[in-house]
Structure 1
């Protein structure tokens, strides 16, 4: 179901397929009224099109998706509504960029050892056109004939728990939540269903997130099913969290995921939307 609000999507400033301006055009074409560009560890895409979105009448909320870890596992936290000029978020972006670059080199080294083949890092950088992430390695591996498709690249080498899944270096979840809050924003626990946690562990994660100052969690995200959305809604209600929604759109794909595609958001008397604060 298409929503008029999408608070989680990506551009070429991180690992998305569309340039920021093209993403704005697509959002308007899909009748989205409120959008947040949440590129991984950077607000560059938002800054590039903030004025353009305003000119076109789109309510563009400042956003970012920060990488972190909790109990040694990777957790993503979306920040919404930060002051993009605040020194805390600017410094956070610088530090995350440094970690991301070191991480990319580690991934390349691990893949070389596993595959017994050289990884041309400059070629991966060229594919990225900016900061290198796992999707760029996947694309490189396909083009070099190392794997038949991107799905195989993640299933065998780059997905959770695989050789290319490098978590070391990311700050603790508590730290990135504080960055967001200190920059005037609200912290949102991103796509909780992706982490494959038991209910008990997910509740522990939510509790730690709240203790750090987190205010919301995504309860309607992309192609998750209604059962997953319903379970997350109950957790948000029980814990007193605001709800957020987003497609996590990275670019057109064969599965039908697009901007605004997500399960329907609950009624406001069930869970209050985080966007009501902007």
Structure 2
């Protein structure tokens, strides 16, 4: 059984539309796929209508603020029609668009041409993310990689950095629980926290009612995975798996390199009660 509980479409910062994503997932023989676009669920119903083999799980990736850091919470298995959740996600999307304009304005003050309109074209009606802005700068030859754009322009202390008034982790967890879903701490090693601060993040997430943590991820070293398993077990958190797929690339593919160790309980028994507890 192949499960991937974290991927993106053109509804946020992915490059594939729902039809293309479903075709790829079925070619990869995925059994269960959660589409987790940033602060939007717009791609889920179109994908579900197109899917034949793969089963689509309701998902979303919610941006939150914790101790001055942007922390992402993946929601799974919630009710798509829950109005409180959808209203909160709408506010998040409006905040993203405000942030994109603010980033553009700040970059202009440093001598770069405006990026907002070109980023909006790339978003094609979806939410404008920092990835769209980064792609505009790459396309213009300002830098040649996402890493360089983010490190030079959009991280803390740089000209395009804009702190965002996201909801708290606790608010995100409560919204997901009230809508019938579960909350997962996404890609915990991507926030560049020390072990001490990562332990603090996981502890606070658990104290706020979080359910799971991503442990099955591409390019994750075994010692790092063991560390995440230890943190999960210390706080009675379940394990999730996710490629965080945005576009086709050799090292990040739907359903690939997402194995969990045998000593951790997977989260999908909470959202997929009809399948066996296996991974």
Q: Once the 2 structures are TM-superposed, how far is the Cα of residue 133 of structure 1 from its aligned partner? A: 0.8
Change (3 A) 1:198 1:66: same
Report how far residue 263 of structure 1 moved: 4.4
Deviation by residue 1:55-87 (Cα, 9 ceiling, x = unmatched): x03121100000011011110000000100011
Q: How far apart are 1:160 and its partner, in Å?
A: 5.8
Q: Is the 2:11–2:123 Cα contact (8 Å) retained in structure 1? A: no
Q: Secondary structure at the match of 2:200?
A: helix
Task: Name the residue aligned to 1:177.
Answer: 173
- CA displacement, residues 146-204 of structure 1 (integer Å, 9 cap, x when unaligned): 22343321231134654334332111111111111111100000011111212222122
TM-score normalized by the length of structure 1: 0.92
Aligned to 2:103: 107
Q: Is the 8 A contact 1:63 1:82 kept in 2?
A: yes
Conserved? CA contact 2:154–2:160, under 8 Å: yes
Give the Cα separation in 2 of the matches to 1:176 and 1:260: 26
- Counterpart of 1:239 (choices 222, 235, 245) is 235
Do structure 1's residue 218 and structure 2's residue 211 form an aligned pair? no
- C-alpha contact (below 8 Å) 1:69/1:167 kept by paired residues: no
State the match for 1:79 in structure 2.
Answer: 75
Question: Structure 1, residues 7-47: CA drift from partner, whole Å, max 9, x if none?
Answer: 00000000001101211111111111111000000000112
Deviation per CA, 1:70-113, whole angstroms, max 9, x where unpaired?
Answer: 01111000000010001121111111111111111111112112
Please state if 1:145 is matched with 2:138. Answer: no
1:257 maps to 252
Q: 1:271 maps to what in 2?
A: 264
| Aligned counterpart, 1:154 | 150
After superposition, residues 203-214 of structure 1 pair within 5 angstroms as 203-214=199-210
CA contact under 8 A between 1:69 and 1:171: conserved in structure 2? yes
Q: Please say if residues 243 and 258 of structure 2, whose CA atoms lie closer than 8 Å, have aligned partners that are also in contact.
A: no
- Counterpart Cα distance in 2 of 1:262 and 1:226: 12
Question: Paired residue for 2:116, among 114, 121, 139?
Answer: 121
Q: Secondary structure at the match of 2:167?
A: coil
Instruction: Note the residue ranges of structure 2 that are not aligned, 5 or more in a row.
Output: 273-279
CA distance in 2, matches of 1:88, 1:136: 28
**Alpha-carbon distance change, 64 to 160 in structure 1, aligned in 2, over 3 angstroms:** farther
Shift in CA distance, 189/161, structure 1 to aligned 2, threshold 3 Å = farther
Report the secondary structure of 1:96's partner residue.
Answer: helix
Structure 1: gaps (5+ residues): none
C-alpha separation in 2, matches of 1:23 and 1:178: 30
